[in-house]
Each structure stands twice: as structure tokens, then as C-alpha cells.
Chains A and B, each alone.
Chain A
Amino acid sequence: NAGVTQTPKFQVLKTGQSMTLQCAQDMNHEYMSWYRQDPGMGLRLIHYSVGAGITDQGEVPNGYNVSRSTTEDFPLRLLSAAPSQTSVYFCASSYRSQPNKPQHFGDGTRLSIL
């Protein structure tokens, strides 16, 4: 009964460092997505995927890369971290063919860039 698992929960990086935020789901959901949450701005879509091998950009994709080699995993990569990427990151998944079903969210990753 894991749902959506995000790791790590907290991370501090220095400007210019790279890292990968991990996201895994065990519900066989086709659709997976990454959001960032900043105070007063709600959740903004970074990248999403509708299946293995298929990814697309959301509202705020710059500075982030994704790939989807399996149905279960959807990692988010920061190639060169910047202070503007300090945020809380959420991964979410859902069935693509059941639009009335909600997205399931992970617990979030709190990322600070110094």
C-alpha cells in the first residue's frame, strides 16, 4: 500500500550542484507528473509523462530534466541547482483513462539551494 514514494524528503544543495529527486508509484498509473510548490503560487507543473518513454513540459520546465524508462519510476533531475529552485517538490500519478480519478501525491521533497 505504498502509493507514491518520493525520496529524499529533505535536501540541501549548493548552487551549481546536481541531483535527482526520485519518484516511484506502485499503482500502475500511466500518468505521472512533477510539481513545485512555492508560497502564494500554488502548485505549478514542471514536467509530466503519459507512459514509459513519453514526457512533456509543463508550465515551468526550465532547469529540470525528466525521463520515464519504466511505468513505475519518474525521476526529476536538477542539472545545475540555482537558489530560485528552492521549493517543495511533489510527484503525482493517476490513471490516464479515468479522468474522474484524482492524482495521488507523494509526501513531497523540501529542497533548499544555498
Chain B
Amino acid sequence: AQKITQTQPGMFVQEKEAVTLDCTYDTSDQSYGLFWYKQPSSGEMIFLIYQGSYDEQNATEGRYSLNFQKARKSANLVISASQLGDSAMYFCAMREGGWTGNQFYFGTGTSLTVIP
């Protein structure tokens, strides 16, 4: 079974609108971490946001927020007020194996295109 599932290969959003990128995960660990990364066409991996499994509140970082639904095992990324520079690949990732977990798993990514 896939550890991280991103079901949206490609998404389009109008500039200034909000967009949600879906991510579901599979783990039997109680302690795990969830991350979102952005990969622009230049290729580097840029960290966006983190959510810990014990965090009761959804994480937020500027225009990025993480909609964490633990019972559903989902960790969707919400980008508010989309900008042209948000056009990129977005990867959801999970670190499991307790607080010093050694395994990171990545989803297949979602390609986001922001339309002017």
C-alpha cells in the first residue's frame, strides 16, 4: 500500500483564488510528521509547512495552511490568494518511526498551475 497518496496529478487555479491540494497517508505509528514541499521548475525542493501527529491545531505558515484530519488520515495543503509564483509541483511527505523516525515517504506530487 502507498504510504502517501496524492490523487491530483494536475490542478489549475485562478490567480488570487484559494486552492486545496489533497494528501492522504497510511501509517500505524502514533508519532509521525507530515510535510509539504514545493518544487518549482528550477528543481529545488522548498519546505513549506509541517504538521505533527500530536498537534491539535492545524499548522499555518503565511498563505499556506494544512488541513489535518487525523481520523481520515488526510493532510491537505491549502494555498490562499494564489500567485503566479505558486505554479510548481507540490509533494506531501511523511516521517514515521517515532520522534526520531528514519523513514521519509513522498507522494507522487501535484502539479499546480496558476492562471492569470
Contact = CB atoms under 8 A, between A and B. Distances in A.
Interface of A: 31, 33, 35, 40-45, 48, 50, 56, 58-59, 88, 90, 92, 96-97, 99-105, 107-108
25 contacts: A31-B102, A33-B104, A40-B108, A41-B108, A42-B108, A42-B109, A44-B106, A45-B103, A45-B104, A48-B103, A90-B45, A96-B100, A96-B102, A97-B100, A99-B31, A99-B33, A99-B52, A99-B95, A99-B99, A99-B101, A100-B33, A102-B50, A103-B47, A104-B47, A107-B43
B102 A48 contact: yes
A79 B70 CA distance: 43
A108 B43 contact: yes
Contacts of A103: 35, 47, 104
A105 B108 contact: no
B105 interface: yes
Given A56-B102, A100-B33, A102-B35, A43 B91 contact: yes
A100 B52 contact: yes
A58 B103 contact: yes
A43 B106 contact: yes
Contacts, number: 61
Interface of B: 4, 6, 9, 31, 33, 35, 37, 43-45, 47, 50, 52, 91, 93, 95, 98-109
A40 B100 CA distance: 29
Contacts of A31: 102
B104 A99 contact: no
Given A40-B108, A99-B52, A105 B45 contact: yes
B36 to A, nearest CB: 9
Nearest to A104: B47
Given A42-B107, A100-B33, A100-B50, A108 B102 contact: no
| Shortest 9 CB-CB contacts between residues of A and residues of B | A102-B47, A105-B45, A43-B106, A42-B108, A42-B106, A99-B99, A99-B33, A96-B100, A42-B109
